[in-house]
Structure 1
Amino acid sequence: MKAINKLSYLKLFSFVIALSLFSCDDEELVQINENASTSLTLSTESVVMSEENAGEDILSLTWTEPNFGFQSATDYSLEVDLVGNDFSNAKVVAVGRDTSKVFTSEELNSILLNLGATPMEINQVEMRLLVSLSDAQRSYTESVNIDATPFSSILDLSTNLGIVGSATPGGWGSEDILDVPFYSTSENNVVVAYATLRDGEMKFRENNDWAVNYGDDGNDGTLEQDGANIPVTAGTYKVTVNTETLEWSLQEYSWGIVGGATVYGWDTPDVKFEYNPYQDNWKAAATFTDGEIKFRQNEEWNVEYGDTGSDGTLEQGGDNIAVEAGHYIITLDLNNLTYELEQTDLWGLVGDATTFGWDAPDPDKFLPDFGINEGMFYLNGVELSAGELKVRQNEEWGVNYGDDGNDGTLELNGANIPSTPGIYNVEMNFAVNPPTIDFYAWQ
């Protein structure tokens, strides 16, 4: 991907927008100035974002405080959307009482990608200012436009092929859980899926629909359209299909973290990684104590990696990796044999419906969406028993959510959430207010 390092030009221009606010009560002792106005000034009419300038300030917006005729405590918010959306899905940036806002390239880029802007192309973006004098006295300025070119390091490895069947989370077809997806690889016509399956049967089909589906008559490793169901035993697998020759294979395949710093120590089960197709790497969420870890395949020592030089590079059979106590997102890059440990806040499930009950540790940790859905968190294939549970941050009760009314809406310090025994994919959405949680039972 070719990145542009500099803005083609920087030109200062101003948009002056008249803003009139009227008193809602003729009996008020203070008369609001009907001619109060503000001007919104942007530092440029065109921005180009790139990985190289991600940390740099790229756009400044300033405005003057309207003269309402008295000293006021005015709050401001900026709304950003793509031209043509009429601010129906705008991203809101709270500014408080400041009369300016500076966006870094990374910050503005994230907003635009969340809006669905096309990377590496010029997108017309509109912005407007919300002036709030009180809950009853709020007004927008007219929108102003700017040309913006975002960048993306997100890959699109998606294909239209998926796995369906009684062995899969969605069963033979579910509105809640889509087919297990296949992803493109570096080999032409070869796609791969990473699937945790149970005892049952499966088939492959296109577009989550039965119009084009494949089975394996004779179970001999070659697919036939409308062929027989394929039997499978429970396990975690790598499924490979050649879409040209219709040859396919199924092999046991998983990656995990093992070690004295993990909740399970040097014994199984390992802390499991999930494949991240947006960056072609593997991600895990874990809470560590002071100790050591290693990475290994299939919860066995046949293929295991450590870091002999403590430089973030993995070697087969390398030294144990020392870690400090904390909450981490771990990235494993098998293409370059590197890893990263990022300390961050983690969400987990706790309760008598979970593995360790109401006490720490909370082994069932949510992963954030590593695509462009900011505020979304996922936990796939978690097994729950009959009982209750809650969501909490960093295995402590300082920040915890329950569900008053059991309606899928989360409340801070809310009621325990009842659980029915089963295996679930859990989706939590903090991009909305109030946040929500959904449990999708495996079919």
Structure 2
Amino acid sequence: MKHILKIFLAAVTVVGLFTACNKIDNLKKVDALPVYQLGVSPVLSASGTTVAPTLADSNKAVVTFSWTNPRYAQDSAVYKYILEIDSTGKNFANENTKTVVGLLTTSLTGRDLNAILLNLGFKLNTAQSIDVRLISSYSNNNERYMSNVLKLTVTPFMDPSTLVTANTSVTLTLANAALASNTFSWTNAFTGYPGIVTYTLQYDSAGKNFVAPIEIAVGPSILTKGLTQGEMNATALNSGIPGGNTGKVEYRLKAVTALGAIVFSNVVNVTIQSYVPIVRMYLPGSYQASTGNGNDWDPPTAPELIRDLRAGVFNDMYYIYIYLPAGAQFKVSEGRSWNIAYGTGAAPGSITSNNGGNFSVTNAGFYRITVNRTTLKYDIREGRMGFVGGATAVGWNPPGVFPTYAMGTAATNLFVGINTFPSNGGWKLIDNNAWDNGSKAVDETRSYGTPNGDGSTLEVNGANFADITTSPVRNRVIWDGRDVNNVKYFMSPAAEMRVVGDGINQAGVNDWDPPTSPQMTYTGNGVWTISITLKANKDIKFVAGNAWGAFDYEDNSGQSQAVGTNKKIKWEGGDNFKTPATAGTYTITLNENTQTMRIN
């Protein structure tokens, strides 16, 4: 009994000691951290397991998801939920998500769901399945719980653009081909879809239902496309509306997502008054690289033929004046591709666009090549140009033109000649020794003229040039077809030619001073000569007058200082000629017909 009493007294003493300690600690007491209960995984449910919205449901809730409270020990208004959606069986490796805070439910509109399904690469109007689950957490993403997985059958719907046209009727002309004609615009396709949508404008003949539409590329995320008159004309011609006629073309917009879903807009109609377009022809062949005309047998770099603009042969007959080396072979391509290319046919002088033979020349020379894509005929003959008319020494007598009154063959579609016009009576330029016979055939003569002045456009078999009634009567004439869209002529006085520069070692000649510079002697056929003392390694050029502003020639040879060789010249502006490396007396020959100069 005594032993039990001792134990009891000891226990009371210990309790008293702890009580005394607690009283002291309370003077600076800190509350212990709260202890929260763990949450539980939410249970996810859906308003339906089959969802097939239509375009009319775009802004309506088509499926609602709800879930049980995960019962975190925190204000439920800040609970965070992430709804994950992916293709069935993909284990949410490419999930699309929607975040919800503080609520136990969320809905997807038709477009919300559609955007998700398109982002998953689902086919339009095709039922497929998705997996859906929910992840809950605190607002800081701690203590995440995953729900059950729902499987839903879903069907994405067509969500096309709405296409409008600025004009429902347009009238087109060749003269205004580069001007704006019509603008198509549209709304976004697949509204809400987060990926890239690429647009293409399609067109076809009215009533053809786009069985074989032609496409005009637009690009990604672009909502408008403007077309020029030329481009609208192409849609008309490609839709079977002949040039110069009126017809209706249908247009629609194709939209394609990054994952390949395709949808088409409504159709709009445009009535088009078309025009006859320009068809362009080129001369690819084996001669190109060796003559500086691009790459051999390469339509994209081949020289272009001139279109004969006369009624009856417009867009049918084409020709070119060009130098060809011996044995050159070539074809004529329609456009800068081999899609349509003309070669020799079975009958003499005929052409075919179906695997024809190569055209060819035996000897090197300057040629005139003519083809007619409608009559399927061709002609190859010497390429030349000369002066004829009452105001020339030859008179109106084509057989007497060549070679005495011929111009020089300076380059492709370029002739330069000097002629003395001794009297009135009109004159022309002519490319054959007989007059045009009115046939408009490929082998006919072409003569050129215009009553308008220097720099004017030439007409085939057009009016006479105006008479030269003022001094000097010797003039330089340039037939220039390098711009195949505008064959024109230039004329300037050719009474004199001077050597100008700082490379002349002659008393009384000032550097770069035309009035004191020595004159060359004209010997005929476009040739000027002079014997002159030159300084070494200096500069010279040629001026056709005693003041700056007159017609002049510069170097086109890369400033070669070689002696005894022909160097190319140019008049459009360039470097000066370099004098030889050794000073001395030299003979300079300037040949305007061949567009060369030589220092001997």
- Indicate the TM-score class for this superposition, using the shorter chain for normalisation: 0.3 to 0.5
Higher helix share: 2
* TM-score, structure 2 as length reference: 0.29
Structure having the higher Rg:
2
Higher strand share: 1
